[in-house]
């Protein structure tokens, strides 16, 4: 097995998916399993499906295409607003997409008509996080325009908080969707099928009994993949964590001073480092760097070690308290969402499935 590698415990991910599908299902809420955090890595996607997830969502059309090529037939949604330039692929490979721009939806309509398909559109509403979405006061008019398009089915409304603006989901900001849906039903005499109320962070509203009646979908990635909810800075109750572990190999161990010798300029990334002189230190280098991983998202499993920093290809650890560490040893790390995302994206990191 090549190193570095990320070991993924498929049963744990299946457990998380199954737990959340059942927990939300009892309350009439479906889970869209979001696969972008693992680049739609097929064994993980299959674990989600075995756990009971029926619909999938990914932000990259390439991931969706790969899932189709692998034979996945479940409904898949593109959850990043489509680019007009990818409209043709989007209607061909995805069943639906999240949208906020009428010109994009018109492009999807054109392409869908060409191949005789109907593409589902969930209109995103910005309730304050200031990432994607139509402002609430514009929703009714935009829906009116969508309803006039052939090749498009208006499926419902969605919102996303916590990702960009770090705005927490609340009863009030989620209720905006439900109220808008009621207004749409009244004005246009249609049924709004889907109210997609948020992501992993919105699970906390269910637990507190604060999810507005009417929300019937959440799009969940992190909660299934890692059992964590970074927006609320917590573990998701009922799920397991440690679903993934990074394994790296030690390529140097030496006692060196903790304060560099010579005049300090800038590091390889243009930053001016600050050092504390802690005297001589046993330092290990592992073969992994910033090209592969967001280092800040790693935590050594052995808490006697400390990550000092990294350059593109080398990560340096203080192993003063671990006299047994030698060249060739394996050092393991727990990963957060950002570290997982970067490791799964890196072509230099081997992906290994354990059961």
Ligand X SMILES: *Cc1c(COP(=O)(O)O)cnc(C)c1O
Binding site for ligand X (CB under 6 A): 34, 36-37, 59, 79, 98, 160, 199-200, 219-223
d(CA 90, CA 173): 30
C-alpha angle with apex 91: 85 to 95, nearest 5 degrees?
A: 140
Closest separation in Å from C-beta 151 to ligand X: 23
Closest separation in Å from C-beta 200 to ligand X: 3
Q: Which is nearer to ligand X, 159 or 320 (CB)?
A: 159
Q: Which is nearer to ligand X, 109 or 124 (CB)?
A: 124
Decide: residue 43, CB within 10 A, 0-12 exposed, 13-18 middle, 19+ buried.
middle
Closest separation in Å from C-beta 59 to ligand X: 5
The catalytic position among 12, 14, 27, 36 is 36
Prior bond of 202 cis (ω within 30°) = no
d(CA 140, CA 181): 9
Q: Which is nearer to ligand X, 217 or 320 (CB)?
A: 217
d(CA 286, CA 51): 35
Q: Which is nearer to ligand X, 34 or 44 (CB)?
A: 34
- Of all residues in this chain, which one has the CB nearest to ligand X in the complex? 221
d(CA 56, CA 182): 26
Closest separation in Å from C-beta 183 to ligand X: 23
Q: Which is nearer to ligand X, 59 or 334 (CB)?
A: 59
Please answer whether residues 30 and 195 qualify as being in contact, where contact means their C-beta atoms are separated by less than 8 angstroms.
Answer: no
Q: Which is nearer to ligand X, 196 or 320 (CB)?
A: 196
Q: Which is nearer to ligand X, 29 or 305 (CB)?
A: 29
**Is 186 marked active-site?**
no
Closest separation in Å from C-beta 238 to ligand X: 15
Closest separation in Å from C-beta 312 to ligand X: 27
Please answer whether residues 107 and 96 qualify as being in contact, where contact means their C-beta atoms are separated by less than 8 angstroms.
Answer: no
d(CA 134, CA 99): 9
d(CA 350, CA 330): 14
Closest separation in Å from C-beta 125 to ligand X: 12
Residues acting as catalytic residues: 36
């Amino acid at each position: 097995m090549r190193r570095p590698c990320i070991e993924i415990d498929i049963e744990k991910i299946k457990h998380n998916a199954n737990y959340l599908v059942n927990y939300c299902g009892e309350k009439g809420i479906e889970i869209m399993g979001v696969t972008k955090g693992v680049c739609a890595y097929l064994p993980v996607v299959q674990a989600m499906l075995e756990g009971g997830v029926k619909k999938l969502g990914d932000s990259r059309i390439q991931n969706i295409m790969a899932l189709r090529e692998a034979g996945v037939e479940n409904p898949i949604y593109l959850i990043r607003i489509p680019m007009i330039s990818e409209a043709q692929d989007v209607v061909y490979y995805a069943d639906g997409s999240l949208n906020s721009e009428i010109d994009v939806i018109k492009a999807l309509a054109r392409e869908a008509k060409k191949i005789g398909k109907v593409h589902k559109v969930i209109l995103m509403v910005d309730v304050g996080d200031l990432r994607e979405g139509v402002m609430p006061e514009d929703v009714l008019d935009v829906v009116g325009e969508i309803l006039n398009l052939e090749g498009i089915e208006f499926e419902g409304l969605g919102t996303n908080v916590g990702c960009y603006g770090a705005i927490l989901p609340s009863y009030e900001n989620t209720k905006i969707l439900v109220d808008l849906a009621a207004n749409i039903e009244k004005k246009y005499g249609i049924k709004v099928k889907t109210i997609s109320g948020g992501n992993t962070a919105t699970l906390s509203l269910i637990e507190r009994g604060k999810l507005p009646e009417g929300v019937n979908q959440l799009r969940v990635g992190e909660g299934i993949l890692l059992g964590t909810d970074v927006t609320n800075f917590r573990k998701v109750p009922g799920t397991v964590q440690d679903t993934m572990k990074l394994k790296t190999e030690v390529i140097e161990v030496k006692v060196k001073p903790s304060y560099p010798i010579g005049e300090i300029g800038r590091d390889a990334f243009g930053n001016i480092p600050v050092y504390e002189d802690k005297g001589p230190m046993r330092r290990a280098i592992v073969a992994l760097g910033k090209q592969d991983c967001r280092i800040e998202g790693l935590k050594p499993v052995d808490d006697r070690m400390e990550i000092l920093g990294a350059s593109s290809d080398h990560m340096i650890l203080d192993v003063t308290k671990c006299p047994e560490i030698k060249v060739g040893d394996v050092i393991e790390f727990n990963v957060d969402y950002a570290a997982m995302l970067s490791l799964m994206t890196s072509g230099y990191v081997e992906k290994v499935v354990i059961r």
